[in-house]
Amino acid sequence: MNVEKWTRYHADLKHPYWWGIMGLIVIESTVIAIFLASYFYLWIVNSSTSRMAWPGGEIPSIFYPSVNIGLLLFCGWSMWYGGVLIHKNKTKAFGWLAVACCVVACGVLWLRWLQMLNLPFSYDQNAYASFVWVLSSFHFMHVLAGILGTAVIGWFSFKGYYTEQRNLGVQIDTIYWYYIVASWIPVYFVIYITPRFQW
């Protein structure tokens, strides 16, 4: 087989980096799954031993978290559409979508900051409070990391580095945004919605 003329650019499953980011996503998903399993474990233990009526205090309002889901979905969409544009070689347009994603994601961070300042409990009050604080803070960090990474990607796009052919970095950043959005949904459901059902 003569591979001399084969392209070395692969913005898809042929490139190891695609599998690498999937590996990272599998690992982080397992971490989240275990966090959520621990949450339910504590709920069950507390109920069966009558230690503390879970969640042990006030349940926070779902207004800001729900708005944030909408904003996060926009971020995911803007990166997806940006990927479509990159494949049509519209690199500047992609750059502006990356900027839009970053700006909206900053909005997500700002709303989350407001939300956490106004939570009806501090993180050391009880285990439920610890979960809400810790899971929200970790997601905050991941959104922040997404903003920083996307800013760099957007900058390179304006400089003309990403083209129709050469855009693996865009694909990986986009996949990771999908993950930032998708991973928040089960967490949101578990910590904000399920305590409202008292089994």
Contact set with another protein (CB under 8 A):
1-10, 14-17, 19-20, 23-24, 26-27, 30-31, 33-35, 38, 41-42, 45-46, 49, 51-52, 54-56, 123-131, 133-134, 141, 144-145, 148-149, 152, 156, 161, 166, 168-169, 172
Contact indicator for 191, 131 with CB cutoff of 8 Å: yes
Nearer to another protein, 7 or 198 (CB): 7
Nearer to another protein, 63 or 92 (CB): 92
Please name the residues in contact with 43: beta carbons below 8 A apart, sequence gap of 6 or more. 54
CB of 167 to another protein, least distance (A): 8
Amino acid (1-letter code) at residue 125: Q
Nearer to another protein, 53 or 63 (CB): 53
CB of 85 to another protein, least distance (A): 18
User: CA 94, CA 16: separation in Å to the nearest integer?
Assistant: 24
CB of 69 to another protein, least distance (A): 24
Between the alpha carbon of residue 170 and those of residues 123, 161, 194, the distances in Å are 37, 11, 36
Task: Of 144, 124, 148, 147, give the one whose Cα is nearest residue 134.
Answer: 124
Nearer to another protein, 57 or 74 (CB): 57
CB of 32 to another protein, least distance (A): 9
Three-class secondary structure of residue 138 per DSSP: helix
> What distance, in Å, lies between the first and last C-alpha atoms of the chain?
64
User: CA 111, CA 135: separation in Å to the nearest integer?
Assistant: 15
CB of 67 to another protein, least distance (A): 25
Nearer to another protein, 24 or 93 (CB): 24
